[in-house]
């Protein structure tokens, strides 16, 4: 029987936590705790604890989080910062906005995180930092990245926008490097009901600097030490995020079990390349991305059978018009050659096992 399977279903998720979310919103309005206040402090505390980090600074969104985190490192202006070629544009945009230069490196063919060989290749005397994107919820090879960083005196920013709760060798991502950033965009694994973001770090100075940059360069009301900006996690979003954080581990377990089922069932299909995670790490499977040659007809077939899919990302960053000026469109083979093969299958707590079996049945039918 035909089913309708959406890529994401935030309304269904809301129904499962409705009472707590409604109460949280109601209380925030009663307290008029819209900007700053108890909810934001509370969530920052809870999220730092959840991510095994000492400090957490709530900000306006994940892009701001990256930009502010980079700025807090106080790197020489126009430093080169290495960014993986396959990511969301924010990972690179923030580098330029913070006054530095983007240098793209390639992604691994197996797990799509940063390629260490390519990273090493891209280091120059001007390189100052690495943006380690835990893409699709999969932790990067942090030991190797930290080794390279140490050898060359580079800072490491972890872009964890897709990786809340992910673990590298038993350690939560985000404060393995110098500083980590998160997005609470509604569709992320931990999503607000609007924009939101956070920065985490174990470094007190960096945390303080980030808080000041995000708050007009001040620590007290009218005592501005430098020109900062305004980037806030607001009280309503913080109160909703506190409710959802309690459910996150349960939702991650669901994602891991769906990914496991996808992997065991799709392994036998030669025309599909499945993502490989390493056993010592915990991927949180924000996305389950496979590679398929000539993906158009495959996506159409799934769509005709009621199954929504996504593409993350259809054009690798160096090939975007926005980065034409970088002249790096031919340097990252994996990201640039395989971007026309990527297909994201539905994954998330909104799917039941019958949905997953239906998706697999249709995929097998297509490749028969
Ligand atoms: C979503 C995302 C961001 C940006 O987050 P926003 O909250 O949308 O600004 C940054 N990096 C990656 C890898 C993302 O997926």
d(CA 233, ligand 1 centre) in Å: 15
Q: What's the pLDDT score for residue 114?
A: 97
Mean pLDDT per 10-residue segment, the chain (368 residues): 91 98 98 94 98 98 98 98 97 98 96 96 98 98 98 98 98 98 98 98 98 94 93 98 98 98 96 94 98 97 98 96 94 90 98 97 97
d(CA 91, ligand 1 centre) in Å: 7
Q: Which atom of ligand 1 is nearest to the CA of 66?
A: 10
d(CA 87, ligand 1 centre) in Å: 9
Identify the residues whose C-beta falls under 6 Å from ligand 1.
61-63, 87-88, 90-91, 133, 159, 161-162, 183, 185, 195, 197
Q: How far apart are CA 284 and CA 188, in angstroms?
A: 11
d(CA 58, ligand 1 centre) in Å: 14
Greatest Cα-to-Cα distance within the chain, rounded to the nearest angstrom: 68
CB 208 within 8 A of CB 72: no
Q: What's the pLDDT score for residue 179?
A: 98
Ligand 1, atom 7: closest residue by C-alpha: 62
pTM of the model: 0.98
DSSP state of 319: G
d(CA 185, ligand 1 centre) in Å: 7
Q: Which atom of ligand 1 is nearest to the CA of 197?
A: 7
d(CA 188, ligand 1 centre) in Å: 9
For 296, phi and psi rounded to 5 degrees? -50, -60
Q: Which atom of ligand 1 is nearest to the CA of 63?
A: 9
Q: Residue 63 is inside which H or E element, if any?
A: helix 62-72
Could you tell me the two tokens for 58? Answer: 């709530």
**In whole angstroms, how large is the CA radius of gyration of the chain?**
21
Q: Is 211 exposed, middle or buried (0-12, 13-18, 19+ CB in 10 A)?
A: buried
Could you tell me the two tokens for 355? Answer: 């949905």
Q: How far apart are CA 279 and CA 125, in angstroms?
A: 35
Residue at token pair 């307290």:
31
Q: Which atom of ligand 1 is nearest to the CA of 162?
A: 15
Pairing state between β 179-183 and 197-201: antiparallel
């Amino acid at each position: 029987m035909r089913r309708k399977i959406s890529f994401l279903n935030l309304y269904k998720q809301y129904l499962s936590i409705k009472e707590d979310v409604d109460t949280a919103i109601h209380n925030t309005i009663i307290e008029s705790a819209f900007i700053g206040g108890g909810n934001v402090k509370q969530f920052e505390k809870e999220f730092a604890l959840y991510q095994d980090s000492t400090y957490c600074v709530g900000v306006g969104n994940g892009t701001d989080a990256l930009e502010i985190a980079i700025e807090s490192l106080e790197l020489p202006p126009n430093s080169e910062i290495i960014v993986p070629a396959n990511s969301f544009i924010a990972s690179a945009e923030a580098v330029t906005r913070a006054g530095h230069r983007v240098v793209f490196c390639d992604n691994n063919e197996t797990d799509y995180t940063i390629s260490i060989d390519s990273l090493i290749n891209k280091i120059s005397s001007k390189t100052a930092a690495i943006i380690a994107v835990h893409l699709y919820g999969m932790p990067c090879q942090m030991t190797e990245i930290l080794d390279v960083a140490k050898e060359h005196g580079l800072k490491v920013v972890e872009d964890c926008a897709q990786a809340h709760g992910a673990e590298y060798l038993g350690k939560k991502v985000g404060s393995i490097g110098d500083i980590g950033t998160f997005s609470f965009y509604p569709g992320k694994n931990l999503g607000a009901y609007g924009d939101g973001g956070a920065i985490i770090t174990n470094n007190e100075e960096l945390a303080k600097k980030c808080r000041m940059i995000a708050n007009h360069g001040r620590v007290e009301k009218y005592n501005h030490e430098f020109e900062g900006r305004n980037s806030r996690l607001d009280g309503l979003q913080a109160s909703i995020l506190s409710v959802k954080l309690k459910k996150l581990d349960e939702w991650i377990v669901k994602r891991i079990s769906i990914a496991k089922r996808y992997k065991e069932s799709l392994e036998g299909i030669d025309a599909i390349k499945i993502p490989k995670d390493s056993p010592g790490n915990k991927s949180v499977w924000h996305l389950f991305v496979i590679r398929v040659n000539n993906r158009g007809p495959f996506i159409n077939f799934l769509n005709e059978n009621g199954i929504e899919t996504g593409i993350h990302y259809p054009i690798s960053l160096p090939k975007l018009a926005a980065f034409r000026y970088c002249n790096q469109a031919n340097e990252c083979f994996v990201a640039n050659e395989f971007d026309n093969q990527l297909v994201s299958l539905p994954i998330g707590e909104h799917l039941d096992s019958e949905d997953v079996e239906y998706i697999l049945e249709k995929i097998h039918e297509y490749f028969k």
